[in-house]
Amino acid sequence: MSRALATSVTVLSALMLAACTTSDVLEPSAMVGNPPTAASTAPSPVAPGGETVAAIDSSARIQFAPIVGSTVEAVTPLTERLATRAKERGIGLARSDEPGASYVLKGYLSAITEGKETTVIYVWDVLDTSGNRLHRIQGQQKVAGRGEGWAAVPDTTMQTIADVTVDQLALWLGGRTG
């Protein structure tokens, strides 16, 4: 019975995250430095892990919208890793205060603790500049240990979420035409 309840809570949380607004949010675009030059946005044919990846349109630029649902302490390693991995994968980034973004990546996060395990649920919507959802990246990471909510989530878990997110985004961008 408790497993069914946990599954129901997880699904309900993911649905609630998708309906979140941008009040009380964090702004990862502040982690982005100067806009990359054309030379620094060349697609990377091999990911850092050694696997072959699709070529990414070097003109595509991603702007990170504020992340909903996390604490500053939990989201800081995530945003730092998102910026690093995007650069490694040849994905151009746009700051929130500059025009020219091709897409907006909006994230919703939730940490749910049950017993000695915390599950981080993440949902990322890739939006066009008009706010229409074009693609969704979602998943979850489980963390065993003490603590509750975001206090139980180590930096490495948030970095793993960033790695998976950027890899999925790169796959999607590699499949886009025009």
pLDDT tens column, 53-74: 555 666 789 999 999 999 999 9
DSSP at 43: P
Cα angle 89, 92, 95; round to 5: 135
132 pLDDT higher than 90: yes
Mean confidence (pLDDT) of the chain: 77
Residue 100 Rama label (left phi>0; alpha psi -120 to 50; beta) = left
Tell me whether strands 133-144 and 103-114 are parallel, antiparallel or unpaired.
unpaired
Confidence of residue 15 (pLDDT cuts 50, 70, 90): very low
Where helices occur in 31-178 by DSSP H, the ranges are 72-88, 155-175
Q: Give the residue with greater pLDDT, 137 vs 36.
A: 137
Structural domains in the chain, sorted by start:
2-175 (3.40.50)
